[in-house]
Amino acid sequence: MAHAHHRHIYHILSKKIGLALLCLLFGGQAMGQSLNHPFYDFDRWIHFGFTVGTNFATLKYDRSASWYHQNTPDSVVKVSAAGSPGITFGAVADLHLGSSKSYFREHFDLRFIPSLTITERQFIFTMKDSSTITKTIESALVEFPLLVKFKSDRSGNIRFYVIGGADYSYDLSSTAKAAANPANPKISIYPSNYAYQFGAGLDLYFPFFKFSPEIKVSQGINNVLVPANTPFSSIFSRFRSNFVYFSLYFEG
């Protein structure tokens, strides 16, 4: 039921995001060449906003030695990792670096974007008897990315930018400390995750706000696999998180 609910929310959200994006882009064309917020990157040292978007998450894995030594009826002979689309909401605090009206102030920002990300990852196991078993890992992540943003020169009401930095997240749905159920063994991951992020986007300046579509990749650094002596967990030695985000930013 939770899986279906997440998909329903995602489909509604994706339609709204697509409609908002089209309206904003067509609205930007209608404004012609008038320069909106000409001193946006100079007049204040900090700006605030919010973000909404979608994400696609998977877990990268390394096999353990036991993968090659299984010889029981419930042995796993093949595994594939799959991801599902999720949703992300967050707040934005954007600090303009450098002294007022300097090159550094105009082109470099430090961004803190605390967010809530809801997603799920799946592993599909093919057993020795050719049957398949799917294990789902649901996550509700509180994320705290700290990113440096480098912006190109402004061309009218548009800027291109690249972004990169580090992220710490905590999974509120982690089952790392849950009691084991031998009848239905789970694959668990630790709640804390460290990652590096990089991406690119466009700043579009409108009369009353700045709108920025962005695509970003997040690669986990630490091993989040909770070791367990089950046919499903024991064949892995390491899990690392992998996310692709498509986000829309609205900043005043």
Distance separating alpha carbons of residues 183 and 205, to the nearest angstrom: 56
Kindly report, residue by residue over 165-212, the tens digit of the pLDDT. Answer: 999 999 999 988 887 777 788 889 999 999 999 999 999 999 889 999
pLDDT at 24 over 70: no
What are residue 22's phi and psi, to 5 degrees? -65, -45
From the list 166, 157, 147, the residue with the least C-alpha distance to 214 is 147
User: What's the domain count of the chain?
Assistant: 1
Q: Which range among 12-16, 52-56, 158-162, 203-207 shows the weakest confidence by mean pLDDT?
A: 12-16
Kindly report, residue by residue over 35-58, the tens digit of the pLDDT. Answer: 888 878 777 888 999 999 999 999
Whole-number average pLDDT of the chain: 84
pLDDT at 19 over 70: no
Distance separating alpha carbons of residues 21 and 27, to the nearest angstrom: 10
Q: What is the pLDDT of residue 64?
A: 83
Q: What is the pLDDT of residue 180?
A: 77
Distance separating alpha carbons of residues 169 and 115, to the nearest angstrom: 9
Looking from the CA of 220 toward its CB, the CA atoms found within 13 Å total 23
Give the domain extent around 10.
2-251
User: What's the N-to-C CA distance of the chain in angstroms?
Assistant: 38
Instruction: Tell me which DSSP letter residue 239 carries.
Output: E
From the list 111, 142, 133, the residue with the least C-alpha distance to 184 is 133
Structure tokens at 196: 């590096």
For 57-120, the DSSP string reads: EEEEEEE-GGGGG--STT-EEEEEEEEEEEEEEEEEEEEEPSSTTSHHHHHEEEEE--EEEEEE
Residue type for 32, please? G
Structure tokens at 82: 């799959």
Q: Residue range 115-137: average pLDDT?
A: 89
Q: For residue 200, how far is the Cα from the chain centroid? A: 14
Q: Residue range 118-128: average pLDDT?
A: 89
Domain holding 229: CATH number?
Answer: 2.40.160.20
Q: Which run of H or E residues covers position 122?
A: strand 115-127
